[in-house]
Amino acid sequence: MERYNLVVLGAGSGGLVVAAGGASLGARVALVEKHPIDYPGPSGSVRAMGGDCLHTGCVPSKALLRAAKAAHEARETSRFGLAGPGDPGPQDLGAVMDWVRSRQTAIAPHDSIARFRELGVEVFEGEGRLESAHEVTVNGTTLRGRHVVIATGSRPRVPKIPGLAEGGFLTNETVFGLRKLPASLVVIGGGPIGVELGQAFARLGSKVTIVSKTPHLCLKEDADAAVVLEKKLLEEGLSLFEEAAPVRVEAGGGVKRVTVRRKDGVETTVAADEILVAAGRRPNVEGLNLDGVGVAHSATGIRTDARCRTNVSSVWAIGDVAGAHLFTHWASHQAGVVLKNTLFPVALARCDAGNVPRVTYTDPEIAHVGLTERAARESGIPFTAFRAGFDRNDRSVCEGDSGELFSKILVGSQGRILGATIVHPRAGDLLAEIVLAKKQDLPVSALGSVIRAYPTLSEIHGAVAREVLKTALTPGRKNLLASLAAFLRR
Amino acid sequence: MERYNLVVLGAGSGGLVVAAGGASLGARVALVEKHPIDYPGPSGSVRAMGGDCLHTGCVPSKALLRAAKAAHEARETSRFGLAGPGDPGPQDLGAVMDWVRSRQTAIAPHDSIARFRELGVEVFEGEGRLESAHEVTVNGTTLRGRHVVIATGSRPRVPKIPGLAEGGFLTNETVFGLRKLPASLVVIGGGPIGVELGQAFARLGSKVTIVSKTPHLCLKEDADAAVVLEKKLLEEGLSLFEEAAPVRVEAGGGVKRVTVRRKDGVETTVAADEILVAAGRRPNVEGLNLDGVGVAHSATGIRTDARCRTNVSSVWAIGDVAGAHLFTHWASHQAGVVLKNTLFPVALARCDAGNVPRVTYTDPEIAHVGLTERAARESGIPFTAFRAGFDRNDRSVCEGDSGELFSKILVGSQGRILGATIVHPRAGDLLAEIVLAKKQDLPVSALGSVIRAYPTLSEIHGAVAREVLKTALTPGRKNLLASLAAFLRR
Per DSSP, the residues of A188-206 read E--SHHHHHHHHHHHHHT-
DSSP characters for A114-161?
HHHHHTT-EEEES-EEE-SSSEEEETTEEEEEEEEEE---EEE-----
Interface membership of B70 toward A (CB under 8 Å): yes
Q: Please tell me the distance in Å from A365's CA to the nearest CA on chain B.
A: 11
Nearest to B26 among A343, A457, A484 (CB): A484
- Alpha-carbon distance values, B109 to B47, B151, B330 (Å): 8, 21, 22
Interchain contact B347–A (C-beta under 8 A): no
Which helix (H) or strand (E) segment is A174 a member of? none
Task: Give the length of chain A.
Answer: 490
Contact B83 A62 (CB under 8 A): no
Phi-psi region of B252 (alpha: psi -120 to 50; beta: other; left: phi over 0): left
Closest C-alpha to B212, from B235, B192, B231, B228: B192
- Candidates B283, B273, B281; CA nearest to B304 is B283
Q: Span A443-469, mean pLDDT?
A: 97
Helices A93-107 and A58-75 pack at an angle, to 10 degrees, of: 130
Cα-based angle B371, B372, B374 (whole degrees, multiple of 5): 120
Q: What residues contact residue B355 under an 8 Å CB cut-off, 6+ apart?
A: A450, A451, B369, B370, B435, B438, B439
A84 close to B (CB below 8 A): yes
Closest approach of chain B CAs to the CA of A179, in angstroms?
12
Whose CA is closest to A308, among A347, A341, A344, A262? A341
> Residue B144: CB partners within 8 Å, gap ≥ 6?
B1, B2, B3, B4, B7, B134, B135
Q: Which residue of B has its CA nearest to A179?
A: B81
Dihedral sign for Cα B390, B396, B397, B401, please: negative
Q: How far, in Å, CA of B50 to CA of B309, rounded?
A: 23
Backbone angles phi, psi at A296, to 5 degrees: -70, 135
Is A261 in a helix, a strand, or coil? strand
Contact A469, A448 (CB under 8 A): yes
Q: Is residue B87 over pLDDT 80?
A: no
**Residue in B53, B451, B452, B479 to test binding to A, most A beta-carbons within 10 Å:** B451
Q: What's the complex ipTM?
A: 0.97
From the CB of residue B247, how many other CB atoms can be counted at a distance below 10 Å? Answer: 14
Q: Average pLDDT over chain A, rounded to whole? A: 96
User: Quick one: which of B151, B147, B144 has its CA closest to B313?
Assistant: B147
CA distance B233 to B242: 13
Chain centroid, CA B118 distance in Å = 30
Nearest CA among A209, A450, A472 for reference residue B25: A472
pLDDT in tens, A386-420: 999 999 999 999 999 999 999 999 999 999 999 99
Which one of A221, A392, A436 makes the best mutation probe of the B interface by having the most chain B beta carbons within 10 Å? A436
In this structure, are residues B104 and B57 in contact, taking their beta carbons and an 8 Å threshold? no
Q: Is the pLDDT of residue B469 over 70?
A: yes
Q: According to the model, what pLDDT value does residue B12 have?
A: 97
Give the 3-state secondary structure of chain B: CEEEEEEEECCCHHHHHHHHHHHHCCCCEEEEECCCEEECCCCCCEEECCHHHHHCCHHHHHHHHHHHHHHHHHHCHHHHCCCCCCCCCCCCHHHHHHHHHHHHHHHHHHHEHHHHHHCCCEEEECCEEECCCCEEEECCEEEEEEEEEECCCEEECCCCCCCHHHHCCECCCCHHHCCCCCCEEEEECCCHHHHHHHHHHHHHCCEEEEECCCCCCCCCCCHHHHHHHHHHHHHCCCEEECCEEEEEEEEECCEEEEEEEECCCCEEEEEECEEEECCCEEECCCCCCHHHHCCCEECCEECCCCCCECCCCCEEECHHHHCCCCCHHHHHHHHHHHHHHHHCCCCCCCCCHHHCCEEECCCCEEEEEECCHHHHHHHCCCCEEEEEEHHHCHHHHHHCCCCCCEEEEEECHHHEEEEEEEEECCHHHHHHHHHHHHHCCCECHHHHCCCCCCCCCCHHHHHHHHHHHHCCCCHHHHHHHHHHHHHHCC
CB B54 within 8 A of CB B47: no
Q: Which residues contact B184 (CB under 8 A, 6 or more apart)?
A: B206, B207, B208, B209, B270, B271, B272, B273, B274
Lowest mean pLDDT among A108-122, A261-275, B98-112, B340-354: B340-354
Distance from CA of B7 to the nearest CA of A (A): 11
Q: How far apart, in whole angstroms, are the C-alpha atoms of residue A9 and residue A149?
A: 6
Domains and CATH numbers, chain B: 2-154+282-353 (3.50.50.60), 164-279 (3.50.50.60), 364-470 (3.30.390.30)
In total, the C-beta contacts within 8 angstroms joining chain A to chain B are: 306
* Chain B: residue whose CA lies nearest to A430: B429
CB contact under 8 A, B82 and A62: no
Using a CB–CB cutoff of 8 Å, tell me whether A460 touches chain B. Answer: no
> Which residues neighbour A159 within 8 Å (Cβ) at sequence distance 6 or greater?
A188, A246, A277, A279
Closest Cβ–Cβ partner in A98, A400, A451 for B355:
A451
**Distance (Å) from the alpha carbon of A232 to chain B's nearest alpha carbon:** 20
Q: Does A327 touch chain B (CB under 8 A)?
A: yes
In order of A2, A21, A318, A325, B52, the CA distances from A18 in angstroms are: 19, 5, 10, 18, 54
Cβ–Cβ contact B359 with A under 8 A = yes
Which residue of A70, A81, A107 is in closest CB contact with B73?
A70
CB–CB of B95 and A73 under 8 A? Answer: no
> Do B295 and B302 meet the contact criterion of CB atoms below 8 Å apart?
yes
As a whole number, the mean pLDDT across chain B is 96
Task: Give the model confidence (pLDDT) of A157-202 as tens digits.
Answer: 999 999 999 999 999 999 999 999 999 999 999 999 999 999 999 9
A301-356 per-position pLDDT tens digit: 999 999 999 999 999 999 999 998 999 999 999 999 999 999 997 878 999 999 99
pLDDT in tens, B171-230: 999 999 999 999 999 999 999 999 999 999 999 999 999 999 999 999 999 999 999 999
pLDDT tens, B378-396? Answer: 999 999 999 999 999 999 9
Using DSSP, state whether A271 is helix, strand or coil: strand
Q: Is the dihedral of CA B323, B328, B330, B331 positive or negative?
A: positive
Predicted confidence band of residue B85 (pLDDT cuts 50, 70, 90): low
Contact A355/B at CB under 8 A = yes
Judged by CB atoms closer than 8 Å, whether chains meet at B453 and A329 is answered as yes
Count CA atoms within 13 Å of residue A455 on its CB side. 22
Q: Can you spell out the DSSP letters for A29-56?
A: EEEEES--EEE--TTS-EEE--HHHHHT
The residue among B310, B320, B319, B308 whose CA lies nearest residue B290 is B310
* Structure confidence at residue A407 (pLDDT): 98
Mind telling me how many Å the CA of A93 is from chain B's nearest CA? 8
**Coil, strand, or helix at residue A97?**
helix
Which A-chain residues 371-410 have CB contacts (< 8 A) with chain B?
392, 394-395, 397-400
Q: Is the pLDDT of residue B253 over 90?
A: no
> How far is the alpha carbon of B137 from chain A, nearest alpha carbon, in Å?
18
Q: Give the whole-angstrom CA distance, residue A390 versus residue A427.
A: 11
DSSP lists the bridge partners of residue A267 as A261
Residues contacting B281, CB < 8 A, separation 6+: B154, B155, B156, B157, B320, B326
- Distance between CA atoms of B405 and B262, rounded to whole angstroms? 29
B441–A contact, CB cutoff 8 A = no
Instruction: Estimate the crossing angle of helix A427-439 against helix B427-439, to 10 degrees.
Output: 10
B34-76: pLDDT as tens digits: 999 999 977 889 999 999 999 999 999 999 999 999 999 998 9
- Other CB atoms within 10 Å distance of the CB of residue B56: 22
CA A337/CA A14 separation, integer angstroms:
11
What is the rounded CA–CA span in Å between residue B134 and residue B3?
10
Query: Is B89's pLDDT higher than 70?
Result: yes
Radius of gyration in angstroms for the set of CA atoms belonging to chain A, rounded to a whole number: 25
Rounded to whole angstroms, the Cα distance separating A55 from A45 reads 15
Distance CA B75, CA A9 (A): 46
Average confidence (pLDDT) over A138-151: 97
What's the whole-model pTM score? 0.97
Closest C-alpha to B229, from B243, B216, B245: B216
Query: Is the CB of residue B413 less than 8 Å from the CB of residue B468?
Result: no
- Does the pLDDT of residue B86 top 70, yes or no? no
Would you call B328 an interface residue with chain A, using a CB distance cutoff of 8 Å? yes
pLDDT tens, position by position, B420-464? 999 999 999 999 999 999 999 999 999 999 999 999 999 999 999
Query: What are the two backbone dihedrals, phi and then psi, of residue A481, each rounded to the nearest 5 degrees?
Result: -65, -40
Residue A85: is its pLDDT beyond 80? Answer: no
> Which residue from A minimizes the CA distance to B485?
A27
